[in-house]
A and B are shown apart, each in its own frame.
Chain A
Amino acid sequence: MSKTSLSQSKPDNLPKPKINWAKVEEAERFAEMVKLFRQGKINRDDFRRFRLQNGAYGSRMTDDYSMIRIKIPAGEVYPEQLEKIAELSESFSIGNAHVSTRQNFQLHWVALEDVSEVMRGLSEVGLTSREACGNSIRNVMCSPLAGICPDEIFDPTPYAIATARFLLRNPMNQSLPRKFKINFTCCEKHGMARIADIGLIPYKVEVNGKLQNGFKIFLGGGLGAQSFVAHQLEEFTPEEDLLYTIISVVRVYDRMGNRENMARNRMRYLVNEIGWEKFQNIVLKERAVVRATQSVVIKLEVDKTPEVLRKVSISSELPSHPQGFSRWIKSNVMKQKQPGYSVAFLTLESGDVTANQLRVIADLARDFSAEGRIRNGFAQDIVFRWVRDEDLPKLYAGLLEVGLANPGSLTMASVIGCSGTTSCNLALTNSHRLAKEVQRKFLELKLDEDDDLRSSTIKISGCPNSCGQHEIATIGFYGGGGRLGKDMYPLYTMQLGGRADEKAMLGLTCMKVPAKRVMPTILKIVEIFKSEKRDGETLDSWVHRVIDGNGGPNVKSLNDIKESLKSAVVAPTIDQDKDFYVDYGNDGSYHARTGRGECAA
């Protein structure tokens, strides 16, 4: 090897990852296990459980390739980690990474034999895929706006990190009845507190004349084949009870959860079956026991050291604002609660990002984020925080160079699409591509600039299992198959009116829409809304008015919407329109094909 080195020293005021989540021995063990599995010395099911516990999902129609889910606790990613993910995606995946709706990075189509190498690479930058899949506590989420949100009471990030740290590799979390999800959020408006097993929103109350930090805790929510909105455990949970509450809920679920029926073993089914009040009582009793027996032994180690922000380059003004800048500012940028700073959201397509783009994102984080890192968002997106207002044009110009400056991130144009038939065994349709198509159309029609649509969402899943979160979308779709005579075509079920905020509700099923009619159907809904809307009314509030039966003048109910869309979704014969029978991204005719699910191990 050459004695001369190419590596150059980087400026040393860059923040380093605070926590090393990795254990390189786990990579070595994984490589050994793959060999034993290939030699037939471990049976398929045991190996599968092991593989999932370590964050490697099987790929569509084959176990020979994995999707590796890289856990990103609280969504925080440092530049060197982004660069490592870029490198690993080029070496072992498809040169792209994917940002999930739960703030993870995912690498698809990694050969099973290389999973250990990816894990080894991740361990060099302190990242792990451990417990990212399987029957364990998944990535602990935290709002990408935590710490900067104008509406938040305090920053929940240190609590999310401490929780993730307490739970990772903790034996209590290694073989739960099924997966378990914890979401911290900043405020009522942003985040997913009500659709997780445990959702938490920072809250403060006065106790004995003193303001005390704590949380509103929500239990038993979640999206899936059957979805539920969570229940609030109690008015206020003080911060010293946070860990004991989490432990109690996990224990109760571990003890009482259904281990027989894979389709009904998430905690929300348990809550639903025994009833909320009973469940609530059991949890509170359990907590009294945990508190009495554990409180001297364990405490959540919350690192509250205030962060020292870096001085980022104060830009000299660009001579003129780059093309598209004002549209981007309007639809991708929010003011932070800290004066002088902004937060900028990147519009990805269905969460996909190339290795080269990741490297540029790493550089831009170094140059323009005073916290020197990025966060993965809740919407398959990437978020730059602590950007000085005057640096925004330069950040935009940097993004523009690598095709990352699309507008629409905080609008209806930012469409969620799960991985669908691109890699998932359960998918029936190519929801991933459809989401990209819808997003492109929205941007082409400049619908991101329409203030009436801004607060609405479109989310698409490739099957009823809701990874694309269709049930909390203003307009949500999940994939299936339709048939005319003997000919099959890709078909979605459309749901309207879902939302995840303080008025959380699941979307109501409206009608079936063939894949190739999804785009015109959405545009038709927008058109109907425009002719029906009241002064100042937004699409999502109009949808709710109609769902509640208070519509009008012409479209009064969900049924009326259905009637006005009916003619647009009629299936032509295959001779009339061959393309109708072909899903996005395919050249042959459509067949609904699925393999075994990997969610339930």
Chain B
Amino acid sequence: MCCLSKEKTARITTDADTLRSEIRDKSIKVLDIRKEEDYKQGHIPEAINFPLSNLLADDSPDKVLQYTQSFGIEDETSVVVYDDTFGALASRVAWTLQYIGHEDVSLLDITYGAWRRLGLETSIEMPSLNKKTHSLKLQPQILAAADYLMPAKEKGAVLVDNRERLNFLEHHIPGAINIPYRMLGSHQNILRPKEELKRLIQNRNISTGSEVITYCGSVGTLSGLGYYALKSIGLDNVKLYVRSFKEWKSLDKPIEKQSDANYWDLSAE
């Protein structure tokens, strides 16, 4: 039984063709994470607007549950999330739904911009919403809090910083390794093909059995994408330090940096 439910959550991404047929079958709920004004100008048909800022204003489980129910999402409903920001914002929402216990959520494997460039259907109509009931089953095993990090690292967990290289060099959580979010996507898709991601992880000697904790700058978006990149290649024990480096700094925790080098001056911007 446990295995069956795992099988079901294994869908990390959904491709455009599948999404289109599921929209036609009305077997799916689609969440658009972009700003309201962008959504109003056009979105994937049947998509419900859920701007990331709404989530970030209050991401307590109760509030998230309220949203979920108001969107008409039941425990068994398939949910696909998309954004226009290389999948990072969508990842943060998908992860949050999983955290409150919604298993069947996946990321559209392209951005809304790519969807449009492919000439796929868009709509300006807002779908009607019928409130449904959803249970609350928190999944603490996918969340990492600040105090969890160092003890876990002591026991062999790998800390992954998904910010850009220069930000990482400037300061990061001690012992973290850097996998910039730019490494995770491809020209076309929000995530590289699995065999490429596997190679990147193998090059770093990270095994599929490792516990990995991802974090980024402030709200867990870039590291949300990092979370799903690792999940997509079969790592089971991945956690998101959702409050990320912003909280870590505010708690005056120890910080590591690459010192005595002026790498910022290599930037042409």
Contact = CB atoms under 8 A, between A and B. Distances in A.
A377 to B, nearest CB: 16
B107 to A, nearest CB: 12
Size bin of chain B's contact surface:
35 or more
Contacts of B117: 6
A560 interface: no
Interface in B178-206: 178, 180, 182-183, 187-189, 193, 199-200, 203-205
Name A's interface SS.
mixed
Contacts of A593: 260
A38 B268 contact: no
Contact of A1 (B15, B259, B266): B15
B266 A352 contact: yes
A2 interface: yes
A34 B261 contact: no
Contacts of A591: 260
Interface string B229-269: 00000000000000000000000000000111111111111
A96 B268 contact: yes
Contacts of B258: 61-62, 65
B165 interface: yes
A13 B106 CA distance: 42
B114 interface: yes
A3 B203 contact: no
Given A114-B200, A117-B200, A422 B266 contact: yes
Interface residues of A, number: 53
A516 interface: no
B164 interface: yes
A31 B166 CA distance: 23
Interface string B196-230: 00011001110000000000000000000000000
Contact of B164 (A34, A94, A430): A94
A1 B189 contact: yes
Contacts of B260: 60-61, 421, 591, 593
B16 A432 contact: no
Nearest to B13: A1
B17 interface: yes
Contact of A2 (B109, B178, B180, B200): B109
A91 B193 CA distance: 14
Interface stretch (A105-113, A145-153, A323-331, A542-550): A105-113
Interface string A124-136: 0000000000000
Contact of A352 (B187, B189, B204, B268): B268
Closest 8 pairs between A and B when the two form their complex, measured CB to CB = A352-B268, A585-B262, A433-B265, A2-B15, A60-B261, A585-B265, A113-B203, A422-B266
10 contacts: A3-B17, A4-B16, A6-B117, A34-B203, A61-B258, A61-B259, A92-B180, A94-B266, A109-B169, A354-B267
Interface of A: 1-7, 31, 34-35, 38, 59-62, 65, 87, 90-96, 98, 108-109, 111, 113-114, 116-117, 348-349, 352-354, 357, 419-423, 430, 432-433, 436, 583-586, 591, 593
Interface of B: 15-17, 109-110, 114, 117-118, 164-166, 169, 177-178, 180, 182-183, 187-189, 193, 199-200, 203-205, 258-269
Given A2-B15, A96-B268, 18 more contacts: A2-B16, A6-B118, A35-B203, A38-B205, A61-B258, A87-B187, A90-B182, A92-B180, A95-B165, A113-B203, A114-B183, A352-B266, A354-B268, A420-B262, A422-B265, A423-B266, A430-B262, A584-B265
